[in-house]
Copies of this chain bind each other. A is one copy, B any other.
Amino acid sequence: MTVNVYIFSMSATIKEIAEQAKVSIATVSRALNNLGNVKEETKKLILNIAEELKYNSNIAARRLAKQQAKIIGFVLPEIEGEFFTDIIKGIEKEAYAQSYHVIVVGSHSERNIVESILNFMKRSLIDGVILMIPSLSEQIKDIISASKIPVVIINGKNEANAVDTVSIDNYQGSYSIVNFLIKNYHYKKIAIIEGPSNNNDALERFEGYMAALKDNGIKPKDDWMIDGDFTSKGGELACSRLLSLLKKPEVIFASNDVMALGCYKVINAHGLKIPDNIGVVGFDHISLADLVSPHLTTVHVPIEEIGQEAARILFERINGTAKGVSHLKISTGIIVGDSCKIQEAN
């Protein structure tokens, strides 16, 4: 690509192209948009001139005429986290492939999620929107169902409503790592630190844990199911409880990595060694899982893929090629670190 100043010199309009090609603007429009009904010859001529003039269509004008924005929106939740970047990247990638742009709005002190969404939907600013929200309020549900533009929700519990959703397959991820602990490491005494009780991810992860135990003939033990809150401090507290038990577990499944790190801290403070004295596994595969020592064994969540799939589904709906409501579950994988150790048969 050659970069030169002309690119910015007041991009040519179809009118100018029409003049040079000695045709009408209608023909230019047709040629440029590949609408057929244009003689090959004139079309080539027009395309050449357009190229020469470094023509770029004026997006606002096209939008006005077509009543279509070629923009989708992404509403950021209020919560913090390192993963938005990746989600945005995924969305943007797909949007690029569809020649769409992505507008990002956030919710913050001066504005709540509802307002963000509404502001988006009104004014014919965008053609579709991706929402990332921990839970759907009634108000938001109303907005969505009244909305004229397609909506895809990331990580909402798919409450069988008519909205497309994309979410992590927490159940599968949880099941497979617990199963892995049993089958591969021969762990039998597996504790879990749960997430917030009102959090859907946390709930599904717990269910996966229970199912894996059951399928392996292991009886769950109440003492080994501790409440947590997805924070480091919460992990520490829960871990302390577990270490103070008379019958300690052999391994702790923290239902997110941040809590697993809390466990690391407490276990070290107790003068114990991971994985020799006790194993730890997490869920999420946040970047620091690979930075701590020993490396954390955890469930990998393909974050960028979530964004990309959400966008893909949104475009299916925008383009009218969707064939029913999607509730996509993104599968996870296992990252094998050094925080677990094969147990001798006993």
Contact = CB atoms under 8 A, between A and B. Distances in A.
Interface of A: 1, 3-5, 7-8, 11, 54, 56-61, 63-64, 69, 71, 76, 80-85, 88-89, 92-93, 96-97, 101-106, 108, 110-111, 114-115, 118, 121-125, 139, 142-143, 146-148, 232, 258, 261-262, 264-265, 268-269, 287-288, 290-293
Given A60-B60, A84-B85, A89-B108, A114 B1 contact: yes
Contacts of A115: 1
A88 B59 contact: no
- Dominant SS at the A interface? helix
Nearest to A82: B82
B89 A106 contact: yes
Contact of A96 (B80, B92, B111): B111
B82 A123 contact: no
Given A59-B123, A88-B104, 8 more contacts: A71-B103, A89-B108, A92-B105, A96-B105, A96-B110, A101-B125, A232-B290, A262-B291
Contacts of A88: 76, 84-85, 88, 104, 106
B106 A103 contact: no
A294 B146 CA distance: 52
